[in-house]
Structure 1
């Protein structure tokens, strides 16, 4: 049975309204041997918007600049104390190949502060965060800014390879005869552009096809997917209306009179409306549709990470400890989207915790079918033993702790920015719900995934 069926929409709706999932912070210890106490001070994000809407006239570094400036303003941060900046992104704008550096300079950070860009598909800003953690644990830096950005309103579209090769020859053609000879090589098909696609390079399969096959493998029905997607939008709506999404900073784009203050992809559809949609990938019998998939999104995020010692020195009240993290990788054909199933037991083992010790669960929702398949896989002894090589299943996911403020299906998924959004929801939910431990897990292209353990800081406040 799917774990979602164990908690009704009305029950989870009550939890989203602020019902505490624990009455007091537990005394459980997290294994952190050999590592420094690294804290998440706070983080921000721009409103996540459907691509080709209000951000469409910007460039990616503009969005990241807004996030960095918003972080500085929210915390009253003295930019000179920052040692390093790391930003994640997926689809690179060729004019700003190191977007971290360009955004940092645009946001007024010193040109003496190094910055670099990382990419790891949907977990790129997780990678930015853990890259900073690694440098801190090594004693290289004490204060870092991590974040991520994705801008789907304007992606690079290339000439065909044959056309590019022809154009590269052009500067060498000096005489009129050489130029005419080069022009004679031109064929109509050379003019066909290469459009970007969200597909696996190794398999040439789109992620939506993989989600459809994964849902079928783990017996996730179309109705279950639609119900979960509705749940995500309901949770996001209630969190927004209750004022819980405090990581959002207002953004004012050029030539606009008003500030953008909210995500614009949250919308609660009826069961009947969702049921009418046709399959988006495997036609006519697939179960993945536009309504139960995350959508193309523009957005950016940023967070301040420090050693606890430095946080105390500068007078910051951190929200959470960043404890353990791990990355996993599987077969990109048959297990492309199962990263959370593999990452969850691994990071829990590192931390010396059980799934039942976790108070806040924040999992990336690429597709409703993908997340429900992971929930089913984690609840299967057979899958654990026959495929993962474990003695027993990972555990039954308690849906009363799961994505209570919505997820990528409703809030949006700017690939490079989602990891910090997950971290901030985890930190803020632990405070609001009086929890001790939070777990982040996400899948990523290439069959990869991440798991992260966070612990509420004793000085944490909203």
Structure 2
């Protein structure tokens, strides 16, 4: 028996009764003109319609957005105001990089456990197409100084100090603030440190696309993905557009390394693409769900978050967080029916898989006497992963939760692990249960 119980004081569990997402679209494609806040409103509005629940019963919305839009800093509140929920519905936004919607779901669950609410919505949305393009620090300072000048001469003297370079737009940063390293550079470091070959990375990417294409073909994904008719309202999208339905292993070998041109192994094809999309889950106190006659997808059994250094192995969060959640719940890896790990990069995912099975790593880093365990690949990312589906940063966790619960239900129930790495050396792990 573990030390963590995800229950109210009356012993009621936290139920996940619904989950939905938009199709995930590659940057600058079908959602090229749709900001994240509109993607979030789109998916929450559709989820409320599909569940036929009175929107005014929702007591709390916790939503996240990694690429922040200055004009809508609290995406959760904008979703409340834009989807017909009661104006008094509590709403706040969170960010935990790529694990944001896991954090949002845990926050809602903890509100239910505390008795503060009975019903809440969690999720995340991100757009890699509609971005907050900034200006250089020097231009920003000069514009501020200009606003305080009174004469033309004063204005001209300030403008003369600007060079053409100062006038160039500044896109959102892709590097870690503290180290200056990009995620791809960290993935390269992990591949080299842990001996993950280019062939292994390409094989995982091919597997991810093949399994995702198969899942769509077999009708397993359609029920959790809404059709969208985005601006400029000329065509609709009902499926993820990143999946390679004709994936061949040979095709991956043709690409050049993206981050270390001479000695690298991480390519655009064995990494997740920049993606637009949103996903949400509806959580309730178990008794409330039954009172309303809602079909329960599953239950939140346990969760844990981790934080490690950012200089090396920054994306090893799944290993650290999984060790914690298994300790919290008193479970072993062998107790799990499914394991779904976020594939930021094939190198990162495979390095984590390798460290799950390492006694040495467990003893030196996890405070365990033995390894977490060797992952049975027949349980691992059985419907494909983020390399295939895409990765709208804040939405991925909610996608994984819904996808895993539905697959567990098809298999007759059981326990599953969802886990993800995140920028800043963060990690998340969640145990889901279906009866």
Match of 2:143 in 1: 167
Distance in 1 between residues matched to 2:103 and 2:310, nearest whole Å: 19
1:279 aligns with 2:257: yes
> Do 1:68 and 1:104's aligned partners in 2 also have CA atoms closer than 8 Å?
no
- Between the aligned partners of 1:415 and 1:222, the Cα distance in structure 2 is 25
Q: Which whole-Å deviations, capped at 9, do the CAs of 1:338-389 have from their partners, x for residues lacking one?
A: 0011111210111111000000111100011110010001111111123333
- Which residue, 164, 167, 171 being the options, matches 1:188? 164
Structure 2 CA distance for aligned equivalents of residues 438 and 411 of structure 1: 20
Give the Cα separation in 1 of the matches to 2:219 and 2:36: 27
SS in 1 for 2:224: coil
State the 1:257 CA deviation. Answer: 4.7
1:414 is aligned to 392
Distance of 1:92 and 1:110 partners within structure 2: 25
> Which residues of structure 1 form unaligned runs of 5+?
1-28
- Alpha-carbon shift at residue 70 of structure 1 (Å): 1.3
- Larger deviation, residues 131-140 vs 145-154: 131-140
Matches within 5 A, 1:26-105: 33=5, 35-36=7-8, 37-105=13-81
Q: Relative to structure 2, which stretch is displaced further, 73-82 or 99-108?
A: 99-108
CA distance 1:270–1:33, change in 2 (3 Å): closer
1:381 and 2:359 correspond: yes
Paired residues of 2:56 and 2:84 also in contact (CA < 8 A): no
Residue 178 in 1 paired to residue 178 in 2?
A: no
Q: Find out whether 1:313 has 2:277 as its counterpart.
A: no
TM-score scaled by length of structure 1: 0.90
CA contact (8 A) 2:205 2:346 kept: yes
Partner of 1:116, secondary structure, is: strand
Equivalent position of 1:252 in the other structure? 229
- In structure 2, the residue matched to 1:10 is none
| Pairs aligned (count) | 429
- Structure 2 unmatched runs, 5+: none
User: Aligned with 1:399: secondary structure?
Assistant: coil
- Deviation string 1:221-270 (CA, Å, 9 cap, x unpaired) is 11011011100001000100111012101111134354311000000432
The CA RMSD over aligned residues, in Å, is 1.5
> Do 2:128 and 2:274's aligned partners in 1 also have CA atoms closer than 8 Å?
yes
2:88 corresponds to which residue? 112
1-structure distance, mates of 2:308, 2:105? 22
1:423 aligns with 2:395: no
TM-score (norm 2): 0.96
Query: 5 Å matches for 1:354-373?
Result: 354-373=332-351
